[in-house]
């Protein structure tokens, strides 16, 4: 059984944002699934997806600080400059974190750990709304 | 055809550990599969999974050293401090490396390269045993 | 429906290379698929795959510069030295970027964003040709 759906996530500020509920709220199909796999793919090169701690909000603040140190703006060796100083670091962060998630579905919901949530990682200052494609394949 | 199984990996020290055999040894189902895909998902936010060199054990030692440099403890800007100095770096490493692997199955076994093995990346000092979910979908 | 194919990508110099067309040109099967998922897996530990900006070639140059800074050669703490100074950084980059991609197929083609392309990330000075396994599962 297959379900595929394009979802537009609402526009968010630069940073790391918990979007588990925004995504799952648009997938009533999940309820009937006993065993399956879900792929969430973001159709952008300057935003990304990851799964991490869903409780303490400071974790998401520290993610933003860390990745700004790890892939800084205005490195003297950057050549891709025309789209603003936040653009090249955004591409780098997007590839470090990745553009898709694949996780199990069990008995009607994503089989994540109790502390795991889905982050939208918005790497641009003004990224606008972001499109994801969710594909569910199940028994 | 679907198989889904939750597996508890035995507790390991902080570092990078080859767990290919521990995982595959619990999947006798693989033998009968001609074509498929296997997803291995770790249900934690301070341990991760990656595929890398399965022979030279120094590679895994160097991974531990490198990631300790890349995501150090006690950065002055960290705000998430209550769970110990190894916790915030653990979350960061988990997202850099990722919480799931998806790879092909061909003729009864994972179609990995000859030098590829599955690493459990244990980022906490005392992480305890770790739970993974393996989902196999095949022809 | 399942399709699985091993593809040998032609040998490339160290750096980041757009290989979308080289891969898709070998997958005429895609045309008939309405909904599905495609997994691309690289069978090596010193080259990797990522999806990023497919237009400006400077982005790929900046990727090479950035990852050379992020995972430098000749770190004094490296112990895995026998295969050359480009080898240990290659393993690290491979795990940071990842060995597989999973993305949706919709109406006969990969449902990527308009600016997204598949990069082969060649981390060795002389990596030679690289083998990937493409597995397509569809409705």
Alpha-carbon gap, residue A39 to A23, rounded angstroms: 12
Q: What is the pLDDT of residue B92?
A: 98
pLDDT digits (tens, 9 = 90+) for B92-107: 999 999 999 999 999 9
Q: What is the pLDDT of residue B138?
A: 98
pTM of the model: 0.98
Q: What is the pLDDT of residue A93?
A: 98
Q: How close B83 comes to chain C (CA, Å)?
A: 25
CB contact under 8 A, A97 and B92: no
3-state percent breakdown (helix, strand, coil) of chain A, nearest 5: 25, 35, 35
Answer yes or no: are the C-beta atoms of A103 and B100 closer than 8 Å. Answer: yes
Structure tokens at C81: 């030295």
Q: Which of A102, A107, A117, A135 to mutate to test the interface with B (most CBs of B within 10 A)?
A: A102
Cα A89 to the chain's mean position, in Å? 16
Q: What is the pLDDT of residue A55?
A: 96
Give buried/exposed letters for B75-107 (b at 16+ CB in 10 A, else e): eeebebeeeeebbbbbbbbbbbbbbbbbbbbbe
Structure tokens at B38: 């296997």
| Residue C106 DSSP label | E
Q: How close A115 comes to chain C (CA, Å)?
A: 23
Q: What is the pLDDT of residue C96?
A: 98
Cβ atoms < 10 Å from Cβ of C75: 15
In this prediction, what percent of chain A has a pLDDT beyond 90? 99
Max CA distance (Å), chain B: 53
Sign of the torsion angle spanned by Cα atoms B13, B17, C83, A96: negative
Q: What is the pLDDT of residue B74?
A: 98
The fold of A12-126 is Jelly Rolls (2.60.120)
| Residue A31 DSSP label | G
Alpha-carbon gap, residue B37 to B135, rounded angstroms: 8
Q: What is the pLDDT of residue B122?
A: 98
Q: How close B106 comes to chain A (CA, Å)?
A: 19
pLDDT digits (tens, 9 = 90+) for A119-131: 999 999 999 999 9
Q: Is B112 on the interface with C (CB under 8 A)?
A: yes
Average pLDDT, chain B: 98
Q: With respect to CATH, is domain C2-138 assigned 1.10.287.470?
A: no
CA atoms within 13 A on the CB side of A138: 22
Q: What is the pLDDT of residue C70?
A: 98
Q: What is the pLDDT of residue A74?
A: 98
Structure tokens at C50: 């990522």
The fold of B11-74+84-131 is Jelly Rolls (2.60.120)
Structure tokens at C119: 């990069």
Q: Is A107 on the interface with B (CB under 8 A)?
A: no
- Residues with pLDDT less than 50, chain C: none
pLDDT digits (tens, 9 = 90+) for A54-65: 999 999 999 999
Average pLDDT, chain A: 98
- Residues with pLDDT less than 50, chain B: none
Q: What is the pLDDT of residue B47?
A: 98
Q: SS3 for C63?
A: helix
pLDDT digits (tens, 9 = 90+) for A84-99: 999 999 999 999 999 9
């Amino acid at each position: 059984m297959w379900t595929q759906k394009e979802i537009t996530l609402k526009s968010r500020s630069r940073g790391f944002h918990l979007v588990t509920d925004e995504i799952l709220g648009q997938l009533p199909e999940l309820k009937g699934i006993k065993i399956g796999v879900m792929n969430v793919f973001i159709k952008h090169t300057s935003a990304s997806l990851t799964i991490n701690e869903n409780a303490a909000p400071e974790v998401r603040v520290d993610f933003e600080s860390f990745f700004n140190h790890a892939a800084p703006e205005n490195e003297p060796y950057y050549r891709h400059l025309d789209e603003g100083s936040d653009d090249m670091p955004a591409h780098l962060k997007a590839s470090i974190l990745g553009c898709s998630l694949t996780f199990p579905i069990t008995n009607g919901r994503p089989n994540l750990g109790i502390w795991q949530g889905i982050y939208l990682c918005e790497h641009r200052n003004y990224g606008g709304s972001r499109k994801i494609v969710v594909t569910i394949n199940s028994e």
